Structure 1
């Protein structure tokens, strides 16, 4: 029976890097653990891995008969196939508590911080395990990604402290400059298919018995989407139908002016309008100050459903 650490489907940088960082920690503690991923990596994550010379985690969508540490989620909708046949050893996460249950006790590190890697950093400190320079650098960028360079309302003092300490370990003098380089890579959307963009950071949620899918693309200038919206809407409609979803939303988030353009395909658009007290015009609306799907979108959506 092998042991793995793995994040959610359509993995973002936090999911990928936390699988790597947690696996190294567990292995150092005497429990051989292999990092895995449930999907292809994004250009941003590829930038992080290449910058610090790290390999992609193993691509794996079924852990039947294996041990598993879950990172960056606790919802069944984001879990691998046949989870009931998997021995879950622990959960490390920074989201709301989801609906995954176990038949035996497990290790849980769940904290209201901006990034799972902030929690993993605290685990290293707790166990007094040194973090390798390359893993520290990747963790640093993952935190900067999830906290949108500290601009997100999810960002805490623990996140900023972790970034500074990880930057020191990694030997990075100007972490903000490197973080902006990462976001410029993240903003490069030309040439990518609508489906690739929709699923780059996409999660399904169960809200009142309805399947709600919400994706997010964070860029430094929303103009990159000017000629792509028609194709994005067409693919959102197709993906909604394919998955029998009530709603598919795509947040186009501008990290510079700090807000999000919502693209919405829904059986009931009034739910979204009521949630944000804003009217949709041609299935779009701008919501000032929205940077975090986790803290500013999911909670208000769940109240409506």
Structure 2
């Protein structure tokens, strides 16, 4: 019996040794094979997703990629920071993949095989329908305001001095996801690393940079309702139901509120085409810290009423103090869907 136990221990040690030899190392980048590695974020990439992919590729090697076209704010950031844009990759097959800024299968590009995922660096809860991996992967998930903040901490832990362009884009990722520190998701880590990135980037006025980003994000007058709906959009699975939540953060909310009929038409088409059980769209007023929530049918309205206390005006549900999909809108809708 003792010899069998000893043999079993040896087998366990051999398996662990084998696993550690092939697992991706976040604390020892030089040990990783990166020839075929790409870093990418969720569908409908936002600025945090894009900048996190850039920083992850800089720290760990590989290539920064986005699964779809970037939004106007992200384009402004690349131009302002004089940074190279990530490649837009339409086929991730045959690639080793590091995920940044998400962990949900519903937000994963259709060509990414879950067996190819080597790492996940994220700041969202593991709920709904997370990626399902049989292999060991390096995972770092923290309740910080942005994935870019977490990666900035990785860079500092590895004693890396970032190029100005990368420090600048990283600062942009932090500012974007925290809505220039106005979001309820903001932590002291976000403030601290924003200051450090600004110093490395040579940016003296963080607030002014953030304001320019908000202005770039707000001008959507030339963008169709269909594109605005999916510009900052995520699919979830709550209680077995397919739920889509789109967000447009803007300083000029009324400009979008006046286009309600356009959004209703776009949402009806999107909901049917994607066979969603529920679909919601928020025009998030970053100036007045208010979410203006839109739905299109009775089923969605019943969920919204269960999820939120707010006033309905001209077809919008006004939610004062609500600014975050991650911390406020998403969890409230998830609870309502799962308890119906």
Aligned match of 2:319? 287
1:299 aligns with 2:331: yes
Q: Does residue 43 of structure 1 match 2:72? A: yes
Equivalent in the alignment of 1:66:
95
Q: Does 1:3 align with 2:32?
A: no
- The answer to whether the 8 A contact 1:63-1:86 is kept is no
Equivalent residues of 1:64, 1:83 under 8 A apart: yes
Deviation, 1:280, is: 4.2
Partner of 2:116: 87
TM-score where L is the length of structure 1? 0.95
Q: Does 1:221 align with 2:255?
A: no
TM-score (norm 2): 0.85
Give distance in 2, aligned partners of 1:61 and 1:157: 37
TM superposition outliers: structure 1 runs of 4+ over 6 Å: none
Q: Cα 1:226–1:83, aligned 2, differ >3 Å: closer, same or farther? A: closer
CA distance in 1, matches of 2:280, 2:78: 29
Alignment CA distance shift 1:282-1:221 (3 Å): closer
- From the superposition, tell whether residues 82 and 41 of structure 1 become closer, same or farther in structure 2 (CA, over 3 Å): closer
Query: Structure 1 residue 292: deviation in Å?
Result: 0.3
Deviation string, structure 1 residues 109-168 (Cα, Å, up to 9, x no partner) = 110001000000010011112211111011111111100110101000000001001000
Q: CA deviation at 1:279?
A: 5.6
Aligned residues: 300
Structure 1 residue 24 and structure 2 residue 53: aligned? no
Aligned residue in 1 for 2:9: none
| Per-residue CA distance 1:167-207 (angstroms, 9 max, x = gap) | 00000000101110110111001111111111110001101
- State the Cα deviation string for residues 28-52 of structure 1 (Å, max 9, x = none): xxxxx00110111111000000011
Q: Which has the larger radius of gyration?
A: 2
Give the gaps of 5 or more residues in structure 1.
28-32
Equivalence for 1:180: 211
Aligned partners of 2:295, 2:227: CA distance in 1, in Å? Answer: 17
Aligned partners of 1:271 and 1:226: how far apart in 2?
21
For structure 1, which segment, 163-172 or 249-258, has the greater mean C-alpha deviation from structure 2 after superposition?
249-258
**1:157 counterpart (188, 191, 203):** 188
Secondary structure (helix, strand or coil) at the match of 1:8 reads coil
**Conservation of the 8 A alpha-carbon contact between 1:65 and 1:85:** no
Secondary structure at 1:297 match in 2 = helix
- Cα deviation per residue 1:8-59 (whole Å; 9 max; x = unaligned)? 00000011110011001012xxxxx001101111110000000111122111
Measured after TM superposition, the shift of residue 228 of structure 1 is 1.6
- 1:257 pairs with 2:291: no
Checking the alignment, whether the CA contact within 8 Å between 1:5 and 1:22 is kept in structure 2 is: yes
State the Cα RMSD in Å. 1.4
C-alpha contact (below 8 Å) 2:231/2:248 kept by paired residues? yes
User: Are the aligned partners of 1:64 and 1:85 in contact in 2 as well (CA < 8 Å)?
Assistant: no
Confirm or deny: 8 A CA contact 1:61 1:81 kept in the other structure.
no
Are 1:243 and 2:271 counterparts? no
